[in-house]
């Protein structure tokens, strides 16, 4: 037996069977693994920051009915991924599964989509955190509120990225502690927000307002809320609220090399984080909707949750609710940074990224510090269009933020689809892990794939009439640049693959090879 292999524990042996040595510090518990996905999903982030996507593209009814329906399909996607991570618990996660099951080319494209998606999610959550931090400070200071500017918000966004990157570089163990705290903040914070919004407002919306009121605040079709055009073009965009909020749970896979009993813990981390977030998120969103005092007023405010809060309560209570949400979003940003850096580390370890030596290098604290810094930098660059002010129908609408949201949804969910498809195709030849679907992948996988394809198309839609090239009001500042960025990257990757990559990229590397006896733990 090669020197050192006789002392491998089960996790290290499983990792070695996949070709890797234990480089990262395996200090995360199963709860910590669940915690990071739960923190990235963050109902205190997505439900607050992307609420306008649901309101402007369907209104209260679209949110009240759409969230639970879309959540069921996302849970199916998560269950399929749980089975995959149990069999292959590596930091490369989705990319590694795709390469193992579909070959190097499938792995290459999947890895890049995953990386794009994770960086876009980091950017959107960090920018949302900055926006809500600014709103929170504004409720406690009239002079701060009067001095609002997009530049100030962007500077706060950059500061948040720097602080979060620094935390990520400092210690992997500290991150685990922060994510454990984050879970309880999300639970207690969400309960506090729900309690405040039920107890403080003097009146609440009726059931018919919440479950039957529709809104079209996009400018499309004259604001009509009926007919096929509304049903097929406007209303589907509201699904991105759910699809964006309940994403990033692939973090459980990316942190699997740092998780004890990963074949079980990481699998449960994925589906449990989705299920609990879906239930908690629906309760939270219904609470927002019942707190609405004036539907037209919220619409005039661009569907912003802050408008609902200021209608229903005085500034003191609004400030408390915003503070709870902002803290949750900062926890979420920290977790997003961790996930993005681990993905870049793993992808670079397999030499699939230019400059891979830099991004796969670990610091003295066994953290991929360079990967942390470069993902934070790219997140800042792709959010630069947020400096351009946009008003639609007289309401301020963060088009650039919604675009980054859509990029995250398209990048992540398309990359999820690849290994799910190949696992479905593999059938009974797939090597089941400790946690598996017991054959239910046969019907779960096709439904998951259909949902991913449909929502990825929807995420390409313009979010306002000014972003539609065929309309006279078209301006570039209104454009949902998701298809331009994702499409442009895919074209570059296609060229890069055929000109260079296919000649040298063979998929995941093998750092170590164990004999059958070593895999069984026999010395």
More confident call, 7 vs 431 = 431
Per residue, the 3-state secondary structure of 159-209, as one string, reads HHHHHHHHHHHHCHHHHHHHHHHHHHHHHHHHHHHHHHHHHCCCCCCCHHH
Whether the per-residue pLDDT at 203 is higher than 80: the answer is yes
pLDDT digits (tens, 9 = 90+) for 357-415: 899 888 877 888 999 999 999 999 989 888 887 765 555 556 677 788 888 889 989 99
Whether the per-residue pLDDT at 202 is higher than 80: the answer is yes
Whether the per-residue pLDDT at 521 is higher than 70: the answer is no
Residue 392 is predicted with a pLDDT of 59
Whether the per-residue pLDDT at 470 is higher than 50: the answer is yes
Q: Are strands 215-216 and 391-392 parallel, antiparallel or unpaired?
A: unpaired
Query: By percentage, how much of the chain surpasses pLDDT 90?
Result: 57
Whether the per-residue pLDDT at 303 is higher than 50: the answer is yes
Whether the per-residue pLDDT at 2 is higher than 60: the answer is no
Cβ neighbours of residue 168 under 8 Å, at least 6 residues apart?
175, 334, 337, 338, 341, 367, 372
**At 3, is the pLDDT very low, low, confident or very high (cuts 50, 70, 90)?**
very low
Mean pLDDT of 500-516: 76
pLDDT digits (tens, 9 = 90+) for 126-148: 999 999 999 899 888 888 877 77
Residue 519 is predicted with a pLDDT of 47
Whether the per-residue pLDDT at 499 is higher than 80: the answer is yes
Which residue is listed with tokens 């794009």? 116
At the topology level of CATH, where does 20-507 sit? Amino acid/polyamine transporter I (1.20.1740)
Mean pLDDT of 41-59: 93
Per residue, the 3-state secondary structure of 49-112, as one string, reads HCHHHHHHEEHHHHHHHHHHHHHHHHHHHHHHHHHHHHHCCCCCCHHHHHHHHHCHHHHHHHHH
Contact yes or no for 259/14 (Cβ under 8 A): no
Measured CA to CA, the distance from residue 426 to residue 443 in angstroms comes to 14
Is the pTM higher than 0.75? The answer reads yes
More confident call, 483 vs 1 = 483
More confident call, 417 vs 480 = 417
Question: 108 pairs with which residues across the strands?
Answer: none
pLDDT digits (tens, 9 = 90+) for 83-107: 999 999 987 788 889 999 999 999 9
Cα Rg of the chain (Å, integer): 23
pLDDT digits (tens, 9 = 90+) for 310-344: 999 998 999 999 999 999 999 999 989 988 998 89
Whether the per-residue pLDDT at 517 is higher than 80: the answer is no
Residue 7 is predicted with a pLDDT of 58
pLDDT digits (tens, 9 = 90+) for 268-278: 999 999 999 99
Task: Give the C-alpha distances (Å, rounded to integers) separating 275 from 2, 79, 210, 508.
Answer: 43, 10, 23, 31
Residue 35 is predicted with a pLDDT of 87
């Amino acid at each position: 037996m090669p020197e050192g292999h006789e002392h491998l524990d089960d996790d290290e042996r499983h990792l070695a069977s996949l070709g890797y040595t234990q480089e990262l510090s395996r200090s995360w518990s199963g709860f910590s693994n669940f915690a990071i996905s739960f923190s990235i999903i963050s109902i205190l982030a997505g439900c607050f920051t992307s609420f306008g996507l649901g309101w402007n593209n369907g209104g209260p009814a679209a949110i009240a009915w759409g969230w639970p329906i879309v959540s069921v399909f996302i849970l199916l996607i998560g269950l399929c991924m749980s089975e995959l991570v149990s069999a292959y618990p590596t930091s490369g996660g989705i990319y590694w599964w795709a390469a193992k099951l579909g070959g190097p080319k499938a792995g290459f494209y999947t890895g890049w989509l995953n990386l794009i998606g994770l960086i876009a999610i980091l950017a959107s959550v960090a920018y949302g955190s900055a926006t809500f931090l600014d709103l929170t400070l504004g409720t406690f200071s009239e002079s701060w509120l009067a001095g609002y500017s997009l530049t100030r918000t962007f500077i706060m966004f950059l500061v948040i990225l720097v602080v979060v990157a620094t935390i990520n570089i400092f210690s992997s163990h500290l991150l685990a502690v922060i994510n454990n705290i984050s879970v309880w903040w999300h639970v207690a914070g969400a309960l506090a927000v729900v309690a405040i919004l039920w107890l403080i407002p003097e009146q609440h919306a009726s059931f018919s307002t919440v479950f039957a009121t529709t809104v079209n605040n996009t400018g499309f079709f004259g604001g009509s809320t009926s007919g096929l055009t509304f049903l097929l073009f406007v209303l589907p965009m509201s699904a991105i609220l759910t699809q964006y909020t309940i994403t990033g749970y692939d973090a459980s896979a990316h942190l699997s090399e740092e998780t004890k009993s990963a074949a079980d813990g990481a699998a449960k981390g994925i589906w449990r984080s989705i299920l609990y977030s879906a239930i908690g998120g629906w309760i939270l969103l219904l609470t927002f909707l019942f707190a609405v005092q004036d539907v037209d007023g919220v619409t005039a405010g661009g569907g912003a949750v802050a408008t609902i809060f200021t209608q229903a309560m005085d500034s003191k209570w609004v400030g408390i609710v915003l503070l709870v949400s902002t803290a949750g979003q900062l926890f979420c940003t920290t977790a997003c940074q961790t996930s993005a850096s681990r993905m870049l580390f793993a992808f670079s370890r397999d030499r699939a990224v230019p400059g891979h030596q830099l991004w796969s290098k670990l610091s003295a604290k066994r953290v991929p510090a360079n990967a942390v810094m470069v993902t934070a930098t790219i997140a800042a660059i792709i959010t630069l269009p947020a400096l351009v002010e946009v008003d639609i129908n007289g309401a301020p609408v963060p088009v650039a933020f919604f675009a980054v949201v859509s990029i995250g949804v398209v990048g992540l969910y398309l990359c999820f689809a690849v290994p799910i498809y190949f696992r479905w195709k593999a059938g009974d030849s797939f090597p089941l892990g400790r946690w598996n679907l017991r054959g239910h992948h046969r019907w779960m996988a096709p439904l998951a794939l259909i949902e991913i394809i449909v929502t990825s198309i929807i995420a390409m839609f313009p979010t306002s009439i000014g972003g539609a090239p065929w309309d006279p009001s078209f301006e570039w500042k209104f454009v949902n640049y998701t298809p331009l960025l994702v499409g442009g990257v895919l074209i570059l990757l296609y060229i890069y693959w055929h000109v260079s990559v296919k000649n040298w990229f063979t998929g995941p590397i093998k750092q170590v090879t164990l004999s059958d006896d070593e895999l069984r733990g026999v010395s």
